[in-house]
Chains A and B, each alone.
Chain A
Amino acid sequence: MKTSIILLFIILFSLIGCERIIYDTDNPIKGLNTRVLMHRGCGDNTDFVENTISAAEYGLTKMDGIELDIQMSKDGTLWLDHDNEVHDCDGNVIGCFQELTDLQITGAAECDGVVRYHTLESVFELMSAKYPDSYISLDIKGQYCQILSTPSVMRQMAESVKTLVKKYKMEYKVLIESSSIAFLNIMAEQNVVGQCVTCFGDIDKGIADARATDARGISLKYGKDDFNEEDISLVHKKGYGIVVWVINEPEDIDRVWKSRPDFIQTDNSDFKKYIPK
């Protein structure tokens, strides 16, 4: 008995150095020439309601593409909006997107002649017809109204995105930003959409999450104090693309542009004036 314990002790002593850290292997990619996407379609232009078809068209005329926020209805249709809740014209919540049918959402969409809710399909139709070379990033919002069913809802959203991409031949023009493992696992099964895992400053966690979900890139929230230009080259070295959001101030534009991320999101309609020569 004592011999067994001593032997076990020796084995365990040798194992206390067992690695707890997973290190990423190098898989360098060159990275794309930096493209600029207008955040929520229209950025800070208050002439448009954000996440609408008119906002999208404005952004597509100004930048290399747009970013839009995505929800899903009870019918499985992908809609554009930042919040999970659908509001009536007085601002009252009438329900969450995933609880309402397309008919109910359409019924609440128009206020004072302005249509506030549009489908993603309408944007894909527009881009396919008039802006075939532009890019679109879809910020997949967590469907938190029904927490228990969220993984199945996220999987359904992923399948809906894939269907629309195929229908409008938007291959290699669509990015996805999501923190849902269920969503990213479905997107890992294809290679025509660039799915990115959302990262709020800790780039090492972002790389680890990208590895864990087989994502193609990282969607990094910009923080003036946290941002390190060399992080971009590290991300590329490990084989991932990177989207940085949201860059608005001229000094930030200069700083981030020089680090060469693949995509930058901005609210600033005059972004391109501040790109360093």
Chain B
Amino acid sequence: MNSFFKMPCSKFKYKLTILSAFLLLINGNITAQNGFSFTSGIGRYDLANIGTQWNFSERSSFEVNGGTNFGLNNKTLWSGGFSFNQVFLKPQNWKIKPGYSVGALYWTQNDEFYLFQSLSMPIMALLAYRISNTLLVRVEGGIIFSTVLTSDRKQNVISGYPDRINSNFGIKFIYKLKHNEN
């Protein structure tokens, strides 16, 4: 009888834990269905980026984006990542709302010396300002932790390595694609 009530395998327990954490993080009315937003911006590690954001509520959102540096400064950078963003709505009379953003970012840098593929985790504070009903601007600043996945040195004269802890900053425009009826 005991074994009947036991979770059949650790994989199921793992998925249940992740789902519970996800629901807890949302921390809002997920039936509110605030819909998708389009994002674009510039950041030190996010580069010139575009993406899409799912708004769980007025406070919380989940963003996926990709960026590039267009080959500037003799190197080619690409990035792709996701983040969970939360804005504190109180004090209500504040026009600029503080918040935070955490996520993960995969990026590559290719130049004449090296090809690096890295994974980074940004932890950011943010300030959000609503320009209109559909347009929000978000300025972010914080730190980013990086680890190298692969490195390929193309020569034997220069040696270098990605900075493991660095500052990160950026600005993002969020355009709400579906009008919030709640």
Contacts and interface: CB of A to CB of B under 8 A. Distances in A.
Interface in A222-256: 228, 230-231, 233-234, 237-238
Given A12-B171, A204-B151, A205-B161, A20 B42 contact: no
Interface stretch (A21-29, A77-85, A130-138, A167-175): A21-29
Most chain A C-beta atoms within 10 Å of own C-beta, residue among B48, B146, B171? B171
B21 interface: no
Nearest to B144: A20
Nearest to B42: A12
A16 B44 contact: yes
A18 interface: yes
Contact of A16 (B69, B153, B159): B69
A16 B158 contact: no
Contacts of B44: 12, 15-16, 18
Contacts of B166: 20
B153 to A, nearest CB: 6
Contacts of A228: 156
Interface in B92-147: 109, 114, 116, 137, 139, 146
B137 A234 contact: no
Contacts of A17: 69, 72-73
A258 to B, nearest CB: 16
A14 to B, nearest CB: 10
A230 B151 CA distance: 16
Interface in A96-124: none
A202 B159 contact: no
Contacts of B171: 5, 8-9, 12
B91 interface: no
A204 B43 contact: no
A161 B47 CA distance: 47
B157 to A, nearest CB: 8
B interface, size bucket: 20 to 34
Interface string B17-48: 00000000000000000000000001111011
Interface residues of A, number: 27
A195 B31 CA distance: 60
A39 B116 CA distance: 34
Interface string A207-225: 1100000000000000000
B161 A234 contact: no
Most chain A C-beta atoms within 10 Å of own C-beta, residue among B72, B159, B162? B159
Contact of B160 (A13, A18, A21, A230): A21
B163 A20 contact: yes
B148 interface: yes
Most chain B C-beta atoms within 10 Å of own C-beta, residue among A5, A15, A18, A20? A20
A104 to B, nearest CB: 39
Contacts of A23: 158-160
A16 B47 contact: yes
- Across the A-B interface, give the 8 residue pairs with the lowest CB-CB distance, nearest first: A208-B161, A23-B160, A17-B73, A230-B156, A12-B42, A21-B160, A24-B159, A207-B159
Interface of B: 42-45, 47-48, 69, 72-73, 109, 114, 116, 137, 139, 146, 148, 151, 153, 156-163, 166, 169-171
